[in-house]
Chain A
């Protein structure tokens, strides 16, 4: 059964990917990218990589098509043909692809127990994680404790991406224009408004569950942050951008994006203060396992805050830009 599942999912993935590359209608490409996200999450799920599937579910299928769509709405949806560049691109892709395929010939067989990934550090994580960190989800203990530097880098990357979007699109955001017209916010979308009201509280509650259950099951700060942001994004989609700005202070969200990174860094510094290495949480409490637990909760909170704020900033800046761009031809 698993073989059938893997073959079916992989061939669907292949078809989708080829079509995405083939089509010139960028809108269709984005919609199919959503399908691609759904398929790869199912595939991760069938391989047992639950945390990756979770991230793919929240980011690949949810947020990123939305952001790509808002980009398309600003930039237009037809791809411009450029034969010379296409030839160059084809050549580059062909060479890189050939190199990658040659590289895979050297790789150990799929699922082989002798693969370096299964011999190097993974056995130690699996054997010692419970004793050293004391939480059931090994993925969380690897991400948040053994490889905390790596995760800090990821959080800083997300924060930097948020800064980049703000500096490119958000600086003119303080100028107040005419009220943004949102078709979905019209009273005729009554069903959507009612269902939106029903769904938003469970989404936020579920985000908190994912945030604080990450040590016991799949989940953690990244996924929780995205889900939390999705709650607010749904609100803005259904009720319009002004309605969200009444609830969410823009300056506060921007500050919170930095606060999350600061929480992460500060926990690392506390490790030094307690006489250990940077981001070693063992000294944070009397007991080393309790200290690890405390540190992981704190940094996951930092990750969640940063991811949620950055996602909200990016989406709202894009939507505001979109509404501005659309407002001009309507006024004329």
Chain B
């Protein structure tokens, strides 16, 4: 009884995880600019990983594999959002701008004096030196 419930639960988690990851990857491929791609990728990256590792944990049974999966879960819990955070910060630091010039920090002041951007100039990179 417990086993079949666990199996169903695990299958549901694995399926949901796969769905989230694929949708995130489509976002990563199709979205127009860096920040929205990053939004799609890093959100689903974290959630999809939790679901897949969680689903595997339910089938693992008691033992060392379960513990290792739990460790992987904890590491992903820390590393995945942090990597996303550092990436976004670095992109901002390198003046990678939003299409509307909507970078919401003090960087925006510098960007006004940057090169002109056309309506389709996504991922514009400024050549000016800060």
A and B touch in the complex (CB under 8 A): yes
Chain A residues close to B by CB (< 8 Å)? 183, 188-189, 191-192, 195, 198-199, 202
Can you report 7 A-B residue pairs in the complex whose CB atoms are below 8 A from each other? A183-B93, A188-B89, A189-B86, A191-B85, A192-B85, A192-B86, A195-B78
Q: How far is the CA of A199 from the CA of B76 in the complex (A)?
A: 11
A52 to chain B, nearest CB (A): 20
Interface 1/0 per residue, B80-101 and A, CB below 8 Å: 0010011001000100000000
Give the total number of A-B pairs whose CB atoms are below 8 A apart.
19
A188 proximity list for chain B (CB < 8 A): 89
A332 to chain B, nearest CB (A): 14
B71 proximity list for chain A (CB < 8 A): 202
Task: Decide: B93 and A198 in contact? CB cutoff 8 A.
Answer: no
Task: Decide: B89 and A189 in contact? CB cutoff 8 A.
Answer: yes
B85 proximity list for chain A (CB < 8 A): 191-192
B79 at the interface (CB under 8 A from A): yes
A261 to chain B, nearest CB (A): 32
Q: How far is the CA of A188 from the CA of B78 in the complex (A)?
A: 18
B70 to chain A, nearest CB (A): 12
Contacts A191-B85, A192-B82 known; 15 new A-B pairs at CB < 8 A: A183-B93, A188-B89, A189-B86, A189-B89, A191-B82, A192-B85, A192-B86, A195-B78, A195-B79, A195-B82, A198-B78, A199-B75, A199-B78, A199-B79, A202-B71
Interface of chain B, main secondary structure:
helix
Q: How far is the CA of A99 from the CA of B75 in the complex (A)?
A: 46
Task: Decide: B75 and A202 in contact? CB cutoff 8 A.
Answer: yes
Q: How far is the CA of A202 from the CA of B74 in the complex (A)?
A: 11
B86 proximity list for chain A (CB < 8 A): 189, 191-192
Determine the residue in chain A with the shortest Cβ distance to B71.
Answer: A202
Q: How far is the CA of A31 from the CA of B82 in the complex (A)?
A: 19
Determine the residue in chain B with the shortest Cβ distance to A190.
Answer: B85
B78 proximity list for chain A (CB < 8 A): 195, 198-199
Q: How far is the CA of A192 from the CA of B82 in the complex (A)?
A: 7
A189 proximity list for chain B (CB < 8 A): 86, 89
Q: How far is the CA of A189 from the CA of B75 in the complex (A)?
A: 19
Q: How far is the CA of A198 from the CA of B71 in the complex (A)?
A: 13
B83 to chain A, nearest CB (A): 9
Q: How far is the CA of A188 from the CA of B88 in the complex (A)?
A: 13
A140 to chain B, nearest CB (A): 18
